[in-house]
Amino acid sequence: MKYSLLLVALLSSSTIFAADDTTKKVTMEPAVSNITVVCPTGSCQKPTEVVAEKACPAPELHKEKALEAAKAEVQEEVLMDNANIRISVTGQGVAPMNTSSPAQAYALAKRAATADAYRLIAEKVKGVRIDGEDTIQNMMVKRSTVRTSVRAMVRNANVVETTFKEGLCEVEMEITLSHSQFAQ
């Protein structure tokens, strides 16, 4: 009886060891695989376990999609929280014909150029309203009219440079926009 019990114990132990050997073989085989996984979290280990390798790419794809969506949102948002936008324009103006002195001509041309620069800033920041109307009679264009208009309030615009050459005055003007100016 004792011997039979010993025999049973030996057999069971041998089967257990045999089973361990088989599992070792199974676990060693996937190590040869050429799958390379890049985990952004850095928590992924070497591809020793096939199950772990397959589980890792799924959340990675989700993260990539989320990152792409976030980037797209950032690109859509023109004026970000901490960033400023600097807008630079150059306005042009000419002096009237009947000026009494070159100095007066310069002063008047500069004023006109400043107004043009303000208009350009308003156009860039706020936008332009455009209305068009074409009249066609007997298959011919009789009248073509385009009306554009801008209405805005411009504050804190700075004159960078003024040039006056051959009756034309150019005023370079810039304005810095920040998110806080538009926060409601």
Partner 1 sequence: MRSRDGNHSFTLAICSVVFLHSLALHASEYLISYRYLVKDATLYNETLFISKAMKKCLGTPQKPIYLDNPKQKSLKDLLSSYDSEFIEYIHKLGLHVEHQEKTNNFINSSTTILTLKTTCFKVDINENFAKIAPLK
Which of 36, 75, 145, 184 is close enough to bind partner 1 by CB under 8 A? 145
- Segment 27-56, which members bind partner 1 (CB under 8 A)? none
Assign residue 139 a region: left if phi > 0, alpha if psi is -120 to 50, beta otherwise? left
Q: Does 144 bind partner 1 (CB under 8 A)?
A: yes
Which of 47, 95, 164, 177 is close enough to bind partner 1 by CB under 8 A? 95
The residue among 100, 98, 111 whose CA lies nearest residue 164 is 111
Please say whether the beta carbons of 106 and 183 come within 8 A.
no
Give residue for tokens 């088989």.
Answer: 22
The residue among 170, 25, 16, 150 whose CA lies nearest residue 90 is 170
Q: Does 171 bind partner 1 (CB under 8 A)?
A: no
- Count CA atoms within 13 Å of residue 163 on its CB side: 7
Q: Does 93 bind partner 1 (CB under 8 A)?
A: yes
The helix or strand, by DSSP H or E, that contains position 27, with its residue range, turns out to be helix 2-28
Q: Does 118 bind partner 1 (CB under 8 A)?
A: yes
Helix (H, G, I), strand (E, B) or coil at 101: coil
Q: How far is the CB of 122 from partner 1 (least distance, A)?
A: 5
Q: Report CA-CA distances (Å) from 48 to 26, 59, 162.
A: 11, 19, 70
For residues 43 and 149, which CB has a smaller minimum distance to partner 1 in the complex?
149
Which of 96, 127, 180, 181 is close enough to bind partner 1 by CB under 8 A? 96
Selected range binding partner 1 among 10-18, 32-40, 74-82, 145-153, rule: CB under 8 A? 145-153
Which of 56, 89, 116, 164 is close enough to bind partner 1 by CB under 8 A? 116
Q: How far is the CB of 140 from partner 1 (least distance, A)?
A: 13
The residue among 155, 152, 169 whose CA lies nearest residue 114 is 169
Q: How many residues bind partner 1 (CB under 8 A)?
A: 32
For residues 30 and 106, which CB has a smaller minimum distance to partner 1 in the complex?
106
Which residues here bind partner 1, judged by CB under 8 A? Answer: 92-96, 108-109, 111-112, 114-116, 118-119, 121-123, 143-157
